Amino acid sequence: MSRLDDIAAIRAEFPQLSRLIHGKPLVYFDNANTAQKPRAVIDAVSGYFTEHNANVARAVHTLGEEATSLYEAARDKLARFVGARSREEVVFTRGTTESVNLVAYSFLRPTLKPGDEILVSRMEHHANIVPWQLIAAETGARVVPAPITDTGELDVEGTVALMNERTQLVGLVHVSNALGTINPVATIIAAAKARGIPSLIDGSQAVPHFKVDVAALDCDFYVLTGHKLFAPTGTGALIAKREHLDAMPPFMGGGEMIRRVSFEGTTFNDPPHKFEPGTPNIAGFIGLGAAVDWLEAVGMDAIAAREARLRDTMRAALGEVDGLRLIGTARERAAVFSFVVEGAHAHDLATLLDHEGVAVRSGHHCTHPTMQFFGVPATVRASLSFYNTEDEIAAFVAALAKVRRMLA
C-alpha cells in the first residue's frame, strides 16, 4: 500500500495541477524543466515568513534560533535523502549551475595546467560544460567530449579510453535532461577512481525520480538543484568529499563564511559554511527540507515504480504516432522523452499543445552538443512525474494528433 495508490489525493496536494489552461485541464509534462510544488512546501515557505522570519547563524533571539534550526534541519534532511556521509559534506548553493561553478573555480582551477583535460560527456547540460570551458580557456586546459551512441547512451568503453594522466576531472550527467538516458555512473566513477581522477555527477534529473546514495556511488562531487526536486527555485546543493571541502579555497567571500576577519588576514569557517557566504535563501531551503520530507513519506521506491509504468505507457503511446522520431532510445531511461515530428516544428507543436492545455518544452534544452550529435536544431520534450496519469498521456496523444492536423 502506497500513498500513490490514491493518485487523486496526491494530485490534490499540488494546487497547480488543478489549473485550467485555455479552458482545458492542465497536463503538466514539463517536469524536467521544473517540478510543481506540493502544499507542504508552499506552507513551509510561507510559514517561515509568517512565523519565524529572521536571519540565520547570527541572531541569538528566538526567531533567529528558529530560523537557524529550520535552515540547518533542511541540511540534515537533504544529507539523509541523498545518502551523504555527513551533513558537513552538503553545501547549499543556488542550484546545479552554481554547484558546478563552485567546483570549477575552487577545486579545479587552482591546479589546472596547460594540456590538462576535463572529460565530460556529449550529453551534458550546458551547466556541466561551460564552467569547464571558462577555466580551461584561462589555464590552457582542454574540455574533451566523451562519446555517446546513436541510441543516446554513453559509450562506456570509449569514455574510459579517454581517461589518461592528463585528465583532471570526469563529469557526467546521472540522468540526461535531453534524452532521458540513465547513465551507468557507478561504472564511470569507479573507472575514474581507479586512475586517480576525481568525478562530478550532475544529479539534477536523478534525485526527483529514484533513490540516490551518494556515499555508495563514491563520487567526489554530486550536484543537484532544488526546483526540479519539488522545492523553490534558487536552492541546490553540492555534496562533496570532506577532504576536498577542507582543501578548497572559498568560492566567494563575505559574512557567514569566516571565523575571524582582520586586515592582517582572515580565517575561514569550516565546511559547509566556508562556501555559503552572505544571507542565504532561507525560506527556499526550508522549502527544500519540506520537499525531501514529503518525498520520503511517499517513498522514492514507490515513486520510481509508478514512474516506470508511466514511462512504459508513454513510450508505447509515442510509438504509435506516425512520423514521430524519438531522440534518445536508451534501454535504461527515465520518463523523459524528446522527439521530433515530421512536417511540424518543435515550437509550433509546443505553442499549439499549450492551447490544448498541455505544457511541454521545445528547444535545445540547454544541450547544444547533444542536439548537434542527433542533427536536430530542436525537439519537443515531454517529461513526466509521479503525479501524472495515464489519462493525461491519452489527452497528450490526442492533442498531438489534433495540432498536427492543423499544421498539415
Cα gap 118→148, rounded to integer Å: 16
Using the rule CB under 8 A, give the single segment among 60-68, 78-86, 357-365, 389-397 that binds other proteins: 357-365
Size of the site for other proteins (CB under 8 A): 19
Give the H/E segment covering residue 307. helix 300-319
Q: Which is nearer to ligand PLP, 95 or 271 (CB)?
A: 95
Among 246, 266, 347, 398, binds other proteins (CB under 8 A): 347
Cα gap 89→86, rounded to integer Å: 6
Q: Which is nearer to other proteins, 23 or 319 (CB)?
A: 23
Contacts of 229 (CB under 8 A, 6+ apart): 35, 207, 208, 288, 291, 292, 295
Rounded to the nearest whole angstrom, what is the least distance from the CB of residue 365 to other proteins in the complex?
A: 11
Among 214, 245, 371, 393, binds other proteins (CB under 8 A): 371
Using the rule CB under 8 A, give the single segment among 39-47, 66-74, 225-233, 361-369 that binds other proteins: 361-369
**Under rule CB under 8 A, residue 406 binds other proteins:** yes
What DSSP designation does 249 have? P
**DSSP conformation letters of 12-31:** HT-GGGG-EETTEE-EE-BT
**Under rule CB under 8 A, residue 405 binds other proteins:** yes
The dihedral formed by the CA atoms of 238, 244, 248 and 252, expressed in degrees to the nearest 10 = 10
Q: Which is nearer to other proteins, 102 or 378 (CB)?
A: 378
Of the candidates 206, 200, 156, 201, the residue with the CA atom closest to the CA atom of residue 177 = 206
Q: Which long-range contacts (CB under 8 A, 24 or more apart) does 369-374 make?
A: 369/122, 369/123, 369/124, 369/129, 369/145, 370/122, 370/123, 370/124, 370/148, 370/176, 370/178, 370/179, 371/178, 373/122, 373/123, 373/148, 374/152, 374/327, 374/328
Identity at 196, one-letter amino acid code = G
Q: Tell me the per-residue interface mask from 78 to 107 with other proteins, x by CB under 8 A, - otherwise.
A: ------------------------------
Residues forming the site for ligand PLP (CB under 6 A) = 95-97, 125, 127, 173, 177, 202, 204-205, 225, 227, 366
**Under rule CB under 8 A, residue 368 binds other proteins:** yes
- Catalytic, 219? Answer no
Query: Which triple of cell numbers denotes residue 388?
Result: 501524472
Q: Which is nearer to other proteins, 264 or 342 (CB)?
A: 342
What does 331 bind: other proteins, ligand PLP, none (CB cut-off 5 to 8 Å by kind)? none
Rounded to the nearest whole angstrom, what is the least distance from the CB of residue 205 to other proteins in the complex?
A: 21
Among 83, 348, 369, 397, binds other proteins (CB under 8 A): 348
Query: Which triple of cell numbers denotes residue 408?
Result: 498539415
What DSSP designation does 175 have? B
Contacting other proteins within 2-41 (CB under 8 A): 22-23
Q: Which is nearer to other proteins, 113 or 347 (CB)?
A: 347
| Helix, strand, coil fractions of the chain, as percent rounded to 5 | 45, 20, 35
Among 188, 231, 303, 378, binds other proteins (CB under 8 A): 378
Catalytic, out of 366, 371, 399, 403 = 366
In Å, how far from its chain's centre is CA 234? 12
Q: Tell me the per-residue interface mask from 301 to 340 with other proteins, x by CB under 8 A, - otherwise.
A: ----------------------------------------
Query: Which triple of cell numbers denotes residue 252?
Result: 566567494
Binding residues for other proteins, rule: CB under 8 A, are 22-23, 345-348, 351-352, 355, 362-364, 368, 371, 377-378, 405-407
User: Which residues have a catalytic role annotated?
Assistant: 366
